[in-house]
Structure 1
Amino acid sequence: MAANQFLQNELTAVLGYKPHTRIDRSKDDVNYRNGAYTRTIDTEYGEINLTIPRDRLNKFQNALFPPYVRRTDGLEEMVIKMYSKGVTTREIADMVERMYGHHYSPTTVSNITKRTEHLVEEFHERKFKYSQYVCVFLDATYIPLRRGTVEREAVNVAIGIRSDGGKEVLDYSIAPTENGAAWSELLQGLRARGIKDIQLFIADGLVGLQSAIEANYPQAKFQRCWVHAERNLLGYVRKNDRREIITDSASREPTSRQRTIGGFQC
């Protein structure tokens, strides 16, 4: 097996001599092969059995398979991605067993997903490199989340555009519904972590949102998102006339208030 041969080659490099080479083992500082132990690794391609060689002085640490790891990152990443999409731990466990033949209990799946918790905390607590942004887009999307039962909750997202044209997700928060209080808390966090100047906010017409912006960034201007405005307008148009209006709107040359900034239409 290629992986086992690689492990043997690694140990040879550590010892400095090939297998079956005659050496003097009477000296205490002489290192040599000292048996092996077996490990089973779950991968996205199936289960592989490894024979991990040992050395007498315990200096050998293979680079291919870290100690105590029982599954590869590829399978763990797939589990985390499914969990982030709202798939329950029990459903993931059943799916992994059907696809790869590995039996993962819901508890095991839950332990895998906990690997991301410190990354989420670091993201929310990080200090910002840039203190000024040309504009920030604020919007919410609803996704199913499991809290006892599966309910759709709002994920409030702030995306910033810098003067050099670069864009980044500044922060996000999760709330049962999109509301001004949740946005105000998110904006307070941006300011506390180093963003002092935002020239323009682009968002929908949510009640309380503009007040939250004025309270945290009073110098910033506010612009109603053109896409949201267009969607709201279509709500007042008869269904039979909507296609004509959409076609007419798309054919017109965009004005300065409709041009794209950093890949976003505004």
Structure 2
Amino acid sequence: SSAKHINELKLSSIIAFVTILYVGVVVAIRYGEEAYRQASLVTALDKNLRIATITKDLPKAIPLLTVCFGMHYNIPPLFHELRNRSVKKMKRALLPAFAVIVSLYLEMGILGYLHFGPAVTRHGGDILAQFSHEDLLVNIGRFVMLLHFACVYPLLAIGCRRSLNLFLFDGDRTVSTLVRVTEALGIVLLSSLLAAFSSGISQVLAFNGSLFGLHIIMTFPAMMYAKIFKNCLRKRDKALIAALFFTGILFSIAGFVSHVHAILKK
């Protein structure tokens, strides 16, 4: 995205939200129909569903979770663009958004697992790929997901571009429109090349979480908090900071090694 401010992406953000909401509704409808037909909450062929287990794949799951909730890089500019900004006002925006995100993840995750069982992980976790290609509602969902990613991408790209400009131009304010457009095109081109050589979106998300997501959510915030409040930290605060920092490092290494090992085994 070559947009200068995040608020310029309001329309695309609304479209992205509506499209993913549509997919969530379709998943719920199709599960409800199958549950009604079978008169059972569990409609999967494999009825032996496990509520929770800890397996060797845990190191691969944690990085993926950080990608799901990794929106930190856009929070400072969002706060800066608020009218009459305050921490309280920012919380009023973030908390409902976080609740909606968690609800959508839970809805599609739980219903998808009840509907398809362990087979839901096929196709890289793409739940729409589990349905028939002749299902009209699902086919519309597949199309709107294309629209969804097209609308979400600028929100990711603008964070990347801002970070790049911090290193190259001491910030985004003095950068001309031509430079922003050039950077945006470069980011899109690089992303397209990486996508062309990637085996699937799950692999991209996995490495993103291992190399960046865990540090954005755990390691860097711990370091920043320790730096800002170094003169007034209590023992409990220091323990929490240390736990976040070392846990982030541990899962980053474990996740990266696990994903590399999984790729080499194929």
TM-score range, shorter chain: under 0.3
Provide the TM-score with structure 1 as the length reference: 0.23
Higher-RCO chain (CA-CA 8 Å, sequence separation at least 6): 2
Instruction: Tell me which protein shows more strand as a share of its residues.
Output: 1
User: Which structure has greater helix proportion?
Assistant: 2
TM-score (norm 2): 0.23
